[in-house]
Amino acid sequence: MHQSLTERLPTPPPEAAALSKALLERIADEVAAGGGWLGFDRYMELALYAPGAGYYSAGSANFGAAGDFVTSPELGALFARTLAHQVADVLATLGGGEVLEFGAGSGALAAVLLAELDRLDCLPVRYAILELSAELRERQHAAIAARVPRALSRLDWLTQWPETPMRGVVLANEVLDAMPVRVFGLAGGQVWEHGVGLSEPGLGWTRRPSDPDFEAAVRHRLPGAVEDYPEGYRGELNERLLPWFMGLADTLAQGVALLVDYGGVSAEVYRPQRTAGTLRAYYRHRLLDAPFWWPGLCDLTADVDFTAAAEAAEAAGLHVAGFAPQAQMLLHGGLEAVFAEAFAAAPDEPARLRLAQEVKRLTLPDEMGERFWGLALSRDYEGRLPGFESRDFRYRLGAGR
């Protein structure tokens, strides 16, 4: 990272800096044990999820305008209230059921969604949250208790997939983008793997020729031939999709999974013009030029390849029931009615202005409207999914869908 940028970044508090330094020592030990090499997926796993030190497991994650990133639920209540209507439709079709949210962050989505389901008289028999971070579990409990205390008796926190299959809805908002990825590069007509090395200045990139399996996986995923890409092209490959979707398939006996995330189909994620890939590191809303600054204190993320996600879901035995940009998913899933009701109930003009701005952020193409996509998966479910019915974008995922 350029020193000038580092100097402009806010200095972490002493306690956070100490945790990061301890994590850095652990990472350095793994680099040394690997002969000067650590796969980037392992580095990303440690930086985000190392117990007691990772970004999401040590309380480092900051949500909202004052934090490192803003998710749709953090903008206000419109996203979650609209999503609640789709959840209510599924639960009504099933005659009741459960909801499982995977990685609930600050609890903003769960709190508003439960409050809206309560208002619609459609609370699930159980609302489970799969969350590894004890600190985030506390935040989630507080958010739900403040907004809809009568739902607390239906809450259940998990640290792994449920042992008993469920009927109902699984929600995963901005989950796939935080999965550890392997990083590849294309040079000299061959595929390289980029990993993490250690030198005098600290952690940095290093590379080695890819193993045959990884090279085959990269070549399979790229829409074009390696020779068609510019020299030095870099990208990411998520090899953890299939195991995750197999866990989802084992969990969902009947119902729908709704996944919302940023990214695109393979042809967009791996277009030749995207020479630096999609891997990004954020600290206090600042985009960093390398992912190694204060490990454990920065968010690391990569765009979701929805073609790969859909293929993995189908391989796990799930049906791809819908694929749509977030704007369509919300506008045809009840956003207009939710907005009109909220607008009419707003106490003053500033509140109405905030609602209008929230809708714009959620739906405009150059904001979240077409940057984020919704993927609906189903098992043994024939009911409607209004947010995905007006136009079917599944054809963009690949032939045969």
pLDDT for position 4: 44
- Read off the pLDDT band of 401 (50, 70, 90): very low
Q: What span, in angstroms and rounded, lies between the C-alpha atoms of 258 and 271? A: 26
Question: Would you state the pLDDT for residue 105?
Answer: 86
Structural domain includes residue 23: no
Question: Residue 371: inside a domain, yes or no?
Answer: yes
* pLDDT on residue 34: 96
Domain edge (last residue) among 284, 301, 318: 301
What pLDDT does 1 receive? 40
Percent of the chain with pLDDT over 90: 82
> Could you read off the pLDDT of 113-149 as tens digits, one per residue?
999 999 999 999 999 999 988 888 999 999 999 999 9
Q: Does residue 85 form part of some domain?
A: yes
In a domain, 253, yes or no: yes
State residue 2's pLDDT score: 40
Contact 128, 100 (CB under 8 A): yes
At 262-312, the pLDDT tens digits run: 999 999 999 999 999 999 999 887 888 889 989 999 999 999 999 999 999
Cross-strand bridge partners of residue 174: none
Quick one: CA torsion of 108, 113, 119, 122, rounded to 10 degrees? -150
Identify whether residues 48 and 102 lie together within a single domain: no
Summarize the confidence of residues 69-79 as an average pLDDT: 76
The stretch 186-212 carries a mean pLDDT of 94
Domain span at residue 326?
72-178+241-267+305-397
Q: Work out the end-to-end distance of the chain between its first and last CA atoms, rounded to an integer number of angstroms.
A: 43
227 and 249 assigned to the same domain: no
Flag whether pLDDT at 252 surpasses 90: yes
DSSP 191-229: EEEEEEEEETTEEEEEEEEPPHHHHHHHHHHSSS-GGGS
| Number of domains, the chain | 2
**Can you tell me whether residue 310 is helix, strand or coil?**
helix
* CB contact at 8 A, 94 and 168: yes
Please give the C-alpha separations between residue 357 and each of 334, 343, 344, in angstroms, as whole numbers: 17, 12, 15
Same domain assignment for residues 201 and 342: no
- 148 shares its domain with 261: yes
Question: Is there a single domain that holds both residue 47 and residue 34?
Answer: yes
Residue 139 and residue 258 in one domain: yes
Q: Give the pLDDT confidence of 17-61 residue by residue, as tens digits.
A: 999 999 999 999 999 999 999 999 999 999 999 998 999 887 655
Cα gap 186→20, rounded to integer Å: 32
CATH no. for residue 153?
Answer: 3.40.50.12710
Q: For residue 274, which amino acid is it?
A: R
Q: How would residue 62 be classed by pLDDT, with cut points 50, 70 and 90? A: low
Q: Report the range of poorest mean pLDDT among 42-46, 102-106, 225-229.
A: 102-106
Kind of pairing between the strands at 155-158 and 202-209: unpaired
Please indicate, yes or no, whether residues 338 and 374 belong to a single structural domain of this protein.
Answer: yes
Cα–Cα–Cα angle for 360, 363, 369, nearest 5°? 130
Q: Is residue 76, in this structure, part of any structural domain at all?
A: yes
374 and 256 in one domain? yes
For residue 302, how far is the Cα from the chain centroid?
9
In a domain, 2, yes or no: no
**Same domain, yes or no: 256 and 159:** yes
pLDDT digits (tens, 9 = 90+) for 149-178: 999 999 999 999 999 999 999 999 999 999
Task: Indicate whether 171 belongs to any domain.
Answer: yes
| Residue 126 shares a structural domain with residue 246 | yes
User: Quick check: 199 pLDDT over 90?
Assistant: no
pLDDT tens digit string along 348-395?
Answer: 999 999 999 999 999 999 899 899 999 999 999 999 999 999 889 999
CA distance 357 to 372: 17
Residue 19: inside a domain: no
Instruction: Say yes or no: 252 and 151 in one domain.
Output: yes
Q: What is the pLDDT of residue 8?
A: 67
Residues 212 and 121 in one domain: no
DSSP conformation letters of 20-63: HHHHHHHHHHHHHHTTS-EEHHHHHHHHHHSTTTSTTTTT---B
